Amino acid sequence: MRIGFFDSGIGGLTVLAEALRRHPDKDFLYMADTLHVPYGTKSKEDVKGYILEAVGTMMNEGIDALVVACNTATSIAITELRERYSLPIVGMEPAVKPAVEMNSATGKRVLVFATPLTLQLPKYYALVSRVDDTGIVDSLPLPELVHYCESLQFDKQIMNEYFRAKLAGYELNDYGIIVLGCTHYPFYKDILRELLPDHIAIVDGNVGTVKRLSALLSRYGIARGGGSGNVQFMCTGNEPGYIDKMQTALAYLREKDNLTETEPF
């Protein structure tokens, strides 16, 4: 029994780390589409082709369930993947709904960070118009953050400058929650936490995604056992060192006590 995790790069590891915490009795196959990362600045048509090809490779390798651990890929290809394959498939979307619910009592605004492509797609517009009755959601694309993350740029000073410049036009007192709507972004949660005022909560959809995975596995009768927390890594680009990079990044994430600050989802 093996669960596949798919992302354009190392971002999906933030979701895999959560899955390993909750399902240490499963094995995992992690696929990064390193030939085409980043997705968030490319065309929808191109990215769809990349996703279908990489996921096809994962299917050939043998998986029993799939987590599309990428908000951008989910927006573009989740429907088609579900049409093509009959195994359980879990996708991701920015945690806008719970953020709006959490904020309704405070009257503060919600700021969603995601890739340009996620924020441009109809799925995101549909989500926001469905849940944001009072118009409190703002969206900020952070395309550079995926580049920083892929090059393991975690220098506090450099990243603080980047975030300060991006947030310069926002009155942070008006905001109660920042949603990390790209799976690469939780790598910067600690840096953001130090930078942002205390009243701003930082949320992502990782815990919610793994809970949906658990529910789906139960429904398909594959809830327990079948593995031992083994992770096999693959990437489309075959760059020397990328597998090591993924292993290092996952070890870093697993060392952290608590990747997700709030767990309402």
Interface with ligand DGL (CB under 6 A): 7-9, 11, 37-40, 70-72, 115, 118, 146, 182-184
Cβ atoms of 5 and 69 within 8 Å: the answer is yes
User: Is 149 noted as a catalytic residue in this protein?
Assistant: no
Active site residue: 180, 182, 231, 234, which one?
182
Tell me how far, at minimum, the Cβ of 163 lies from ligand DGL, in Å: 17
Active site residue: 29, 63, 70, 217, which one?
70
Q: Please identify, using beta-carbon distances, which residue of 71 and 260 lies nearer to ligand DGL.
A: 71
Q: Please identify, using beta-carbon distances, which residue of 4 and 9 lies nearer to ligand DGL.
A: 9
Whole-number Å distance between alpha carbons of 153 and 137: 29
Give Cα 265 distance to the centre of its chain.
14
Longest dimension (CA), the chain: 50
**Edge-to-edge order in the sheet of strand 109-114:** 137-141, 109-114, 175-180, 201-204
Tell me how far, at minimum, the Cβ of 98 lies from ligand DGL, in Å: 17
Tell me how far, at minimum, the Cβ of 75 lies from ligand DGL, in Å: 8
Q: Tokens 């309402």 label which residue?
A: 264
Q: Please identify, using beta-carbon distances, which residue of 37 and 202 lies nearer to ligand DGL.
A: 37
**Which residue type, as a one-letter code, is found at position 260?**
T
- Residue whose CB is nearest to ligand DGL in the complex, by number: 40
Tell me how far, at minimum, the Cβ of 69 lies from ligand DGL, in Å: 7
SS (H, E, C) 40-85: CCCCHHHHHHHHHHHHHHHHHHCCCEEEECCHHHHHHHHHHHHHHC
User: Is 182 noted as a catalytic residue in this protein?
Assistant: yes
Q: Please identify, using beta-carbon distances, which residue of 71 and 103 lies nearer to ligand DGL.
A: 71
Instruction: List the catalytic residues.
Output: 70, 182
